[in-house]
Homo-oligomer: A and B are copies of this chain.
């Protein structure tokens, strides 16, 4: 026996079609669901990525900023390819390619050589360093490493190199987003606070939002208001840049000066409390002006809250154009409520998206029957339950924290719903259950331009209502008997 397992040589025994059929049915049963939910160690089809991906998203949101992964080169390629596939856009980022020797001696040499080469080749205005597993496990001291790099003038003194510890073994990409954002703001605003100075601007922190359409929508709303603004971590152009014959490695992002001056802003709204807690707490203690943390403005009511907060913070009337826009969104909602009323949905995604989906569905009289977050918290569960309790359509809806999409599959196969709101990863469960999947979350690899159509704001409501209702009508047209196939829907 030449293999280490010491197993005797067996004849190949093919699995029989009957066995396949039995198991195929078994995995849809209540019994299987119990076993599945009894899992303690194995995670199957989780619906979140790891911290550094969120950090890279933030880095892409600043002018001339090069994301720099201190750790294995494989991580950088994985974060880049994920963002390429979601946005269908370039996602330039470098790593300092730590390997075995880094495990022994630490990553300082890699970092220094990496910084030197990156500056030479890509001439960044800022380098945002964040860590993948290796340096976190071996405990690299990045503060020191970066200080030494400047001392050894590996990089120009004045080059700003914020860094964040983004260990993959706790939290998800939204926590990496938070850590990197607060570090960048701390670095850029250092020494920039001027007593009595007020930029008169709103600092808007969109939170860990992978929809470029949302960034454009925030800007359009603020322009209608006549409120000057700085978006902090603006990927609206970086990941939706023109194709005009030239490649611009830094295609957008918040101007560094604006970010620096943001500490003197009139007010700061941090959208998405679950992906900006650290940032918001630091801003509250360090930024002048008022500070508000608000949920993602998905649905009419949450958009109203956002609009009214901007009006309140800047002492402005809500402009007629936005009132009108609200009326048109409510018109779309009342005109098509019959296509969504009472329909059961399974929804999963990042916490800030989830509170948005649930509010939107309840507003429409639809029922978020299974609500699942693969990395949730008590706080999130309480907030979601409060939303459910506030509507008769929330009655027999249930919340599942820290469950994965294989759990979700058991749920929808044993307690069927009419559709899933999530991202590309939900397509397997949706196909098994024979129901449509609405790709409002992240990542979306298998459709085009989903990230260009906002899901926040009044226009976001119209976009979601249109996609959901028209898909339900498509299905009716495609599956009804001939005698029920008709002109009117």
Contact = CB atoms under 8 A, between A and B. Distances in A.
Interface of A: 85, 88-89, 240-244, 323-324, 326-328, 330-332, 334-336, 339, 424-425, 427-428, 431, 445-449, 452-453, 462, 465-466, 469-470, 473, 477, 485, 487-489
A347 to B, nearest CB: 20
Nearest to A246: B327
Dominant secondary structure of chain A at its interface with chain B: helix
Contacts of A330: 242-244
Contacts of A242: 323-324, 326-328, 330-331
A466 B446 contact: no
Contacts of A447: 469-470, 473, 489
A215 to B, nearest CB: 13
Contact of A336 (B327, B425, B431, B448): B448
A241 B427 CA distance: 37
Given A85-B488, A240-B328, A243-B334, 16 more contacts: A88-B336, A240-B331, A241-B327, A242-B323, A242-B331, A243-B327, A243-B330, A244-B330, A332-B452, A335-B448, A431-B477, A445-B487, A446-B487, A446-B488, A446-B489, A452-B462
Given A243-B331, A244-B327, A331-B241, A487 B449 contact: no
Contacts of A489: 445-447
Closest 10 CB pairs of A and B: A242-B327, A243-B331, A446-B489, A449-B466, A244-B327, A336-B448, A88-B335, A243-B330, A448-B469, A447-B470
A324 B240 CA distance: 10
Contacts of A446: 473, 477, 487-489
A85 B486 CA distance: 14
Contacts of A428: 485
Contacts of A477: 427, 431, 446
A462 B449 contact: yes
Protomer copies? 2
Nearest to A446: B489
Contacts of A88: 335-336
A485 B446 CA distance: 11
Contacts of A334: 243
A242 B241 CA distance: 33
7 contacts: A85-B488, A89-B331, A243-B335, A446-B488, A447-B469, A448-B470, A449-B465
A466 B487 contact: no
Contacts of A485: 427-428, 431
B448 A332 contact: yes
Contact of A448 (B89, B243, B328, B339): B339
A456 B489 CA distance: 26
B487 A427 contact: yes
Contacts of A425: 487
Contacts of A89: 331
A83 to B, nearest CB: 14
